[in-house]
Amino acid sequence: MTACKEGRKPEAQQAKSAVKDWFEWARRQRIVIAMSGNTVYMPDGEAVAIAEMMRRCPVGE
């Protein structure tokens, strides 16, 4: 509530935005092909937790 009053996004909203931004970048790079919940799917069909993939492949590398 304080974040809203101060004109900031709540932290959970910022985290969701970071995940969305990462997923869109990774999809353009063909690192992942789909996302469901907290899981992303690689082109070979492997399912990996999104937090793990974000550590493996930071944006821009």
Residue 29 placed within a domain: yes
Rg (CA), the chain: 14
Residue 4 placed within a domain: no
What is the mean predicted confidence (pLDDT) over 11-39? 90
* Domain span holding position 45: 11-56
Q: What is the pLDDT of residues 29-40, one digit of tens each?
A: 999 999 999 999
Is the whole model's pTM more than 0.75, yes or no? no
pLDDT at 11 over 90: no
Tell me the C-alpha distance between 14 and 57, whole Å: 19
52 or 2, higher pLDDT: 52
Query: Three-state secondary structure along 1-61?
Result: CHHHHCCCCCHHHHHHHHHHHHHHHHHHCCCCCEEECCEEECCCCCEEEHHHHHHHCCCCC
pLDDT at 13 over 90: no
Number of domains in the chain: 1
